[in-house]
Amino acid sequence: MSVRVGIPRALLYYYYFPLWKEFLEQLGAEVVVSAPTTKGILTRGVEQCVDEACLPIKLAFGHVQNLADKGVDVIFLPRMVSVAQREYICPKFLGFPDMVRQNIKNLPVVMDTSFNLRKKQSDVTDFVQRVGAYFGKGIFKSRLAFGVALRKQKQYQDLLEQGLFPEEAMAILEGKEPKSKNINTDLTIAVIGHPYNIYDPFISMNLLNRLNKMGVKVLTADHLTEQKIEQGAAKLPKKLFWTLSKKITGGALHFHEKSTVDGIIHVAAFACGPDSMTGELIERFIRREGRMPFLNINLDEHTGEAGIITRVEAFLDMVRWRRAVG
Ligand code: SF4
């Protein structure tokens, strides 16, 4: 019987799920994903996590608990240190497996193999071999499995760059028909933020779909190629060594410079150190130029939906008015 491996629908799920799923399945595992976020999942996460943590980490606790409730044999929580040379991921990712072990009782096995490409890309081999060995596979079969998974991940990234959102791209990879949106839009807005904040419909209060329904075409930094992100980030006087912050800032500055959008909405999580810095950087840069409407939204577990909708509606009215008066 296959080992049932759980992957939380949280944190880097929206970036790496196709890669992890394919890799684990090629190794013979059965992959189980936690349920879509609900109030109940968030509440359990908030109860079990330390108060000082950011909203996405609290939510990820709830998803880990959901996987434990589903009776999986293993919870896959790779210790994400770095996904690019000379760059880092937020330290909360690094400590997440330990936080979970300390705070949630009666968990199944937590697989926390380190993923660290800071020195060189080829260091991924160590991760591949360790995970493969857990499933009884040797070096050759493990590398083969990861090679197949990398090709799946490339297809996924190509679909994102074509303008799809993660759930749509994942559905296509599963062989499902893409839903036709048929939206009449008169505005294009960039929504900039961490994937776990903007793509989780519960946490973002369904922001992307709401915008679509309000006549807005939405673009995110994930629709841009790496080259465009780098060009945007190069406008800063110093290199950002946090990969996700670089993507957010580079994306925002690219959209601003090329004027391919009518406005930018930055979505940040309360208690997020990197977000407070990137939000400030982007806002200062845009306000200095003074030519693009900008809205900053902060999310926490107490954020009221009505307040966010009112602010977004007022922002869109202002963008439309600005455009009308030229
Ligand atoms: S980048 Fe911010 S939101 Fe993401 S895990 Fe780190 S502190 Fe939390």
Task: Please report, for the chain, the start and end positions of each structural domain, with discontinuous segments joined by +.
Answer: 4-172, 182-325
* pLDDT at 182 > cutoff 70: no
| 68 Cβ closer than 6 Å to some ligand 1 atom | no
Flag whether pLDDT at 163 surpasses 80.
yes
Pick from 88, 275, 301 the residue to mutate for probing ligand 1's pocket: most ligand atoms within 8 Å of its CB: 275
Residue keyed to tokens 């679509």: 212
Cβ of 254 less than 6 Å from ligand 1:
no
Contact assessment for residue 301 and residue 58, using Cβ atoms and an 8 Å cutoff: yes
pLDDT at 110: 96
Q: How far is the CA of 90 from the centre of ligand 1 (A)?
A: 6
Helix axes 13-26, 124-134, angle to 10 degrees: 50
Contact 282, 232 (CB under 8 A): no
Ligand 1 in reach of 219 Cβ (< 6 A): no
CA 248–ligand 1 middle distance (angstroms): 13
Residue 279 is predicted with a pLDDT of 86
Element (H, E) at 36: none
Q: Which amino acid is at 98?
A: D
The CATH fold assigned to 182-325 is Rossmann fold (3.40.50)
Single-letter amino acid code for the residue at 225: T
Mean pLDDT value of segment 206-211: 93
Cβ atoms of residues 18 and 172 within 8 Å: no
Is the CB of 275 inside a 6 Å radius of any atom of ligand 1?
A: yes
Of 153, 149, 155, residue with least CA distance to 29: 149
Say what the pLDDT of residue 199 is: 97
Measured by CA distance, the residue closest to atom 7 of ligand 1 is 272
Position with higher pLDDT, 288 vs 214: 214
Which amino acid residue places its CA nearest to atom 3 of ligand 1?
Answer: 272
**Which pLDDT band holds residue 93 (cuts at 50, 70, 90)?**
very high
CA of 138 to the centre of ligand 1 (A): 35
Convert 224-244 to b/e letters by CB count within 10 Å (16 or more is b). Answer: beeebbebbbeeeeeebebbb
**What mean pLDDT is predicted for residues 302-309?**
80
Backbone angles phi, psi at 188, to 5 degrees: -125, 125
The alpha carbon of 259 and the centre of ligand 1 are apart by a number of angstroms equal to 28
- Return mean pLDDT, the chain: 92
Q: Is 97 in the pocket of ligand 1 (CB under 6 A)?
A: no
Nearest to 223 by CA among 294, 267, 178, 169: 169
pLDDT band at 181 (very low <50, low <70, confident <90, very high): low
Full-model pTM: 0.93
What is the pLDDT, as a whole number, of residue 11? 95
Is residue 185 over pLDDT 90?
A: no
Report the DSSP beta bridge partners of residue 193: 267
For residues 124-133, average pLDDT: 95
- In this predicted structure, what is the pLDDT of residue 117? 87
